Amino acid sequence: MKTIPLILAAAAAAALPVRAQSADPIQKSMQFSNEGRHGEAVRILEEAAAAEPGNEALSFRLATALVFERRPAEARARFEQLSRSWDSQIASMAASSLAALDKAEAEERIALAAPPSAEQIRREREYAERKARLERQQAAYDLAASGSDAEAVAAIGALEARGEALPDMVRAKAAALDRLGDTAGAVEVLQRLCETENPARETRAQLAALLRREGDHEEAFGIWQDLRDNHGDTDEGRMAAREIAALAPPLNLERWSWGELDLYTAYLSRYGIGVGGGRLRQGTFVPGARWIEPFVQADFTLDSSSAVSNQGIATIYNENLAGFHAGARIRPFADQSFTLYVLGGVQNNLRGVDRYPGIWFAELVTGLNGFWAWGPGKEWAFADLETESPGGMPPLPPDGVNWIPHAWGPVSARFDWFTEAGFDASYYTRLSDCIGYVQARQGFRLLQLGRAGAVDAYALANAAMDTGGSYYDNYFEGGPGMRFVAAPVGAAIFTTSLDYVLGAYLGPNAGDSRGSARATYSDFRITASLSLRW
């Protein structure tokens, strides 16, 4: 870019040519000077000036560094030489510096000649105290930065006792305590800091995160709410809004309703049939007892054929029932999926199979259910969010159902492990039977497509048992599988999986219903499922 002759100080630049190789010494010397390491700045500039004796800009910088290194005689000699420069600007700059040097030296001589006043003594004492305090604070910072958590906690504690600990130090102490496993101690430290007038937003955000982990959801939620509502324009306010938006409904104290939709369909090669099922559930929370979640639901199960003629057996999988239920589930641990539930309602067989007459009948189901996942492979990576908002906070999700499309890029390979386990055990009045099953998957997330898709490979193991002794409710099976998980919009998750299992029926065969089916089997399955939460 061309520049305006006057304002670019082009004359000065032309008069004081600096070769490219002198840029580095100048940068280094400026860095040393800024850090108060004037001796090192002088050494670098002396070398550079010796290499370029005609460079008056370098000489000026050296003279200045000599002043700060308290070598006034050498500085004076250089300034005097520069003040005779043919370049009027450098000459006037050197003359002005010489005058300032004269003035400073005169003031110093007068000060040395006179005995120190009470004010000077007081100032020196205060300076010494300030210096010692800053050194103690710096030592604590250094310990925290080096990861010596126990030592940092002790050092900051000592500073607190002296009333010298700054809020960011106390926050560092809380973080160190947390890393040392003393989260309760860290919470106590931050709560004490929050009791001071106008606690920093960072302190409150840090406290909320720890409280959340300690299980004190209510206080954590209150802090996030305040940060979001009263400091929404700040990083902490936006972070708090994200924390609240990411909370599961039971933990989000502003939410009074929740909803779930689950649909699935599968092809089972061992029977040559297709099966399906679904459930739409809408619930709420009991005020004062949010751990109780009443709900109503509509549900159905379906199969393409309930009689597998080549094996001489009747209904073996889905019962082709559709019904309406009301119930409640109890969530003992607010941040876990484990629930106890009871629901009752009416059902009817809509396909006229033999097992149920074509009339509506009442039933009751009660049981427990849970699902857990571990490992980095269960998480979405955040690379895609960064591309949506480069350098800034990720965009805030809107309230309510989120229908924002997710990006399918960037595509990245991942080899993050995961383990999943789930179970359900229930008693069904329509069957007079108690049926339980356990499912587990261990595998790797292989590929991620932005926030919208992922490919997993895994080994699966399933087991089922019942008290009635139906052979098809008592089995163990295992094998490999792959799945494609897609989240194209908002909270909707569409999963397609391909599994191959080897299984064995485990003993009971009540009513001799197995027909000609063998005790062991292999099964190739294709499953598609849709899950939506709001």
Partner 1 sequence: MAALLAVEAGAKTLVIFDTPAKPFSMVDEVAPVAILLTRFDPAPLRKAAAEITTQDITDADRVVLVGVAGVPKLSKEVLAALEGKPLLGIGAAASLAAGASGESKPKAVAGGHVVLGDSEWEARIDPFYASAPAGAEATANVVRDGKAQPLAWSKGDRFGFGALPGAPPLSDIFSDLLVDFYGAPGKPAAMYFLVEDFNPSSGSAALRRLSDYFAHLGVPFAVSTQVRNVPQGTAIEPREEFLAALRHAQSRGGVVLLRGADSAADIEKFRADGIAPAGFDDAPAAVGLPLHTGRISYKPSPDSEPEPFPASTALLLPDGAKLLPANVRGGADGVALDVVAERIRGIASMRGGVAGVVIPAWLPFQSMRDIADAARSSGVPVAEPLILSQQ
The nearer residue to partner 1, 17 or 294, going by C-beta atoms, is 17
Span interacting with partner 1, options 171-179, 295-303, 384-392, 443-451, rule CB under 8 A: 384-392
CB of 474 to partner 1, least distance (A): 55
Least Å distance between CB 496 and partner 1?
30
Our finding on whether 73 is near partner 1 (CB under 8 A) is no
Q: Which residues of 211-243 are buried (b: 16+ CB within 10 A; e: fewer)?
A: bbeeeebeebbebbbebbeebeeeebbbbbbbb
Q: Does 426 engage in binding with partner 1 (CB under 8 A)?
A: no
Q: Whole-angstrom Cα distance, residue 159 to residue 138?
A: 11
For residues 269-298, which are near partner 1 according to CB under 8 A?
none
- 383 lies in the binding site for partner 1 (CB under 8 A): no
What does 424-485 look like in DSSP terms, one character per residue? EEEEETTTTEEEEEEEEEEEEEEEEETTTEEEEEEEEEEEEEESS--GGGSEEEEEEEEEEE
Tell me if 64 contacts partner 1 by CB under 8 A.
Answer: yes
Q: For the window 213-252, what string marks contact with partner 1 as x by the rule CB under 8 A? A: --------------------xx------------------
Residue 90 or residue 239: which is nearer to partner 1 going by CB? 90
- Is residue 89 a contact point for partner 1 (CB under 8 A)? yes
The SS3 of residue 234 is coil
Contacts of 259 (CB under 8 A, 6+ apart): 280, 281, 282, 283, 532, 533, 534
The reply on whether position 1 binds partner 1 by CB under 8 A is yes
Omega within 30 of 0 (cis) for the link into 410: yes
391 binds partner 1 (CB under 8 A): yes
| 129 alpha carbon, distance to own chain's centre | 42
Instruction: Please state the closest distance from residue 32 (CB atom) to partner 1, in A.
Output: 15
User: Residue 18, interface with partner 1 (CB under 8 A)?
Assistant: yes
Q: Does 77 contact partner 1 by CB under 8 A?
A: no
Minimum separation from the CB atom of position 6 to partner 1 (A): 6
Sketch the per residue contact string, 41 through 60, with partner 1: x for CB under 8 A, - otherwise: ----------------xx-x
Question: Contact between 402 and partner 1 (CB under 8 A)?
Answer: no
2 binds partner 1 (CB under 8 A): yes
Query: Site for partner 1 (CB under 8 A): which residue of 88, 146, 196, 257?
Result: 88
Listed residue (301, 385, 370, 305) closest to 336, CA to CA? 370
Q: Is 95 in the site for partner 1 (CB under 8 A)?
A: yes
Task: Quote the least distance from Cβ 15 to partner 1, whole Å.
Answer: 8
Q: What helix, strand, coil percent values describe the chain, rounded to 5?
A: 40, 30, 30
With residue 99 as reference, give the H or E element that holds it: helix 88-113
The tokens describing 115, both together, are 């005995």
Verify binding: residue 15, partner 1, rule CB under 8 A: yes
Is 340 a residue that touches partner 1 (CB under 8 A)? no
C-alpha triplet 433, 434, 440: angle, nearest 5°: 140
Binding of partner 1 by 4 (CB under 8 A): yes
DSSP string covering 481-497, please? Answer: EEEEEE--BTT-EEEEE
Counted residue by residue, the chain has a size of 534
Tell me, letter by letter, the H, E, C secondary structure of 70-82: CCHHHHHHHHHHH
Where along the sequence are the contacts to partner 1 (CB under 8 A)? Answer: 1-9, 12-13, 15-16, 18, 22-23, 26, 57-58, 60-61, 64, 67-68, 88-90, 92-93, 95-97, 99-101, 233-234, 387-392, 395
